Amino acid sequence: MYHSVGQRVQDDPTGAFTLETEVFREQLRVLKSSQMPVVPFGVAQSGSVALTFDDGYRNFLTTILPELEKYGFSATFFVIPKRVQDEHPEFLTRADLKTLANHPLIRIGGHGYSHQKLAEIPASNLHHELKQSREWLSDAMQYSVDSMSYPHGSVNVPVARAAQAAGYRFAGTSYPGVHHTGHFSCAIPRTVIMARDNLALFRAKLEGRWDWNRARMTDPYPSGEGA
- Which pLDDT score is estimated for 99? 93
Contact 137, 101 (CB under 8 A): no
- Percentage of the chain beyond pLDDT 90 is 83
| Domain 4-108+175-216 = CATH 3.20.20.370 | yes
The answer to which of 149-158, 181-190, 211-220 has the lowest mean pLDDT is: 211-220
Q: Is the pLDDT assigned to residue 213 strictly greater than 80?
A: no
- Domain-by-domain residue ranges, the chain? 4-108+175-216
Q: Is the pLDDT assigned to residue 181 strictly greater than 90?
A: no
- Percentage of the chain beyond pLDDT 70 is 93
Q: Give the pLDDT band of residue 29 (cuts 50, 70, 90).
A: very high
Q: Give the pLDDT band of residue 214 (cuts 50, 70, 90).
A: low
- Which pLDDT score is estimated for 216? 52
pLDDT in tens, 80-138: 999 999 999 999 999 999 999 999 999 999 999 999 999 999 999 999 999 999 999 99
